[in-house]
Amino acid sequence: MVRSPEAEELFGVELEETPDTLSYGLSGDFASQVMDELERQGITLAELARRMGIKQPTLCGMLRGTSNMTLKTMARMALALGCTLEAPRLVIVDEPASPSWLAKVVPFDALEDGRRRRAEVEALQA
């Protein structure tokens, strides 16, 4: 997902791409495709939930984005709709992603060569 100019204009700020924003965008795109396919096939949410062997409120939470969908869950959903699923792919962008979230995820100090890796990340940020 690339930053959304519409959202940035609406909120008046530039949105930073983080694992959360990227995964939320991908989940939202997938949920929209599922809803479109349900409408195209004339299938209800209750029927899709039944085919998946889950309860309808659980399915609704997944499609609403209040619970995290795994790739396995997405595959189950696709197969229940008689569809297939393509793997996510990397999209090369002109400017490197800001690794500001990386420091929160990778405990550099806990790594044996943490100082060298921290210097590499700081060099990327410069």
- Per the rule left: phi > 0, alpha: psi between -120 and 50, beta: everything else, 2 is beta
Instruction: Give the position of tokens 């999209």.
Output: 91
CB 47 within 8 A of CB 37: no
Q: What is Dmax (Cα atoms) for the chain?
A: 57
- Kindly report, residue by residue over 28-44, the tens digit of the pLDDT: 999 999 999 999 999 99
Per-residue pLDDT, 116: 60
**Residue numbers of the chain with a pLDDT score lower than 70:** 1-11, 13-15, 95-126
Side chain identity at 99, as an amino acid letter? P
Q: What pLDDT was estimated at residue 124?
A: 65
Q: How far apart are CA 126 and CA 45, in angstroms?
A: 48
